[in-house]
Amino acid sequence: MNLARSFSNWRKYRQTVNELGRMSDRELSDLGIGRSDIPYVARQAVK
């Protein structure tokens, strides 16, 4: 994996974590996501 792709994936991961982290527990629950699941969901978004 080249450096540019790695950086792009990291940015997408951080953006996803930040966006989900700003949501309320109720909003996350509506999506079927627990607060502890955020890192997992963010990693899946990068794949």
Per-residue pLDDT for the chain (47 aa), expressed as one digit of tens each? 699 999 999 999 999 999 999 999 999 999 999 999 999 999 999 98
Question: SS3 string of 1-47?
Answer: CCHHHHHHHHHHHHHHHHHHHHCCHHHHHHCCCCHHHHHHHHHHHHC
Q: What is the pLDDT of residue 24?
A: 98
Q: What is the pLDDT of residue 1?
A: 63
Residue 37 CA: distances (Å) to CA of 1, 6, 26, 33, 34: 26, 22, 14, 6, 5
Taking every pair of Cα atoms in the chain, the longest distance, rounded to a whole number of angstroms, is 38
Q: What is the pLDDT of residue 28?
A: 98
> What pTM, to 2 d.p., does this model score?
0.88
45/43 Cα distance (integer angstroms)? 5
Q: What is the pLDDT of residue 40?
A: 97
